[in-house]
């Protein structure tokens, strides 16, 4: 998610009470695996947009289980490990 300012090792804060809208960064569950992507919604169809060019966008296929788990509201940078 580098293009959205989230780097490996950063902590994210997720609000499960917020409704996900177009452009929100979300935590989603696709086939029982968590992923963090930007929600892209147009005319009733949607995809999960990767924020790193080395990863593909996710377009849910028929039969796949997809749930938007929550909306990312903040990112905390970690400088020491």
pLDDT per residue over 9-67, tens digit each?
Answer: 899 999 999 999 999 999 999 989 999 999 998 887 889 999 988 888 999 888 888 89
pLDDT of 45 reads: 82
CA 55 – CA 14 distance, rounded (Å)? 22
pLDDT of 14 reads: 98
pLDDT of 47 reads: 92
> Nearest-CA neighbor of 75 among 6, 3, 4, 2?
6
Tokens 């996710």: give the residue: 58
pLDDT of 63 reads: 83
pLDDT of 43 reads: 86
Task: Give the pTM.
Answer: 0.86
Q: Which CATH superfamily is domain 2-76 in?
A: Umud Fragment, subunit A (2.10.109.10)
pLDDT of 80 reads: 73
Spell out the domain ranges in the chain.
2-76
């Amino acid at each position: 998610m580098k293009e959205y300012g989230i780097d490996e090792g950063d902590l994210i804060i997720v609000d499960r009470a917020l409704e996900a809208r177009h452009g929100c960064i979300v935590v989603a569950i696709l086939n029982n695996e968590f992923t963090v992507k930007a929600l892209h919604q147009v005319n009733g169809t949607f995809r999960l947009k990767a924020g790193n060019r080395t990863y593909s966008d996710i377009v849910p296929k028929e039969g796949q289980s997809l749930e938007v788990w929550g909306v990312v509201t903040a990112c905390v940078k970690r400088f020491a490990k």
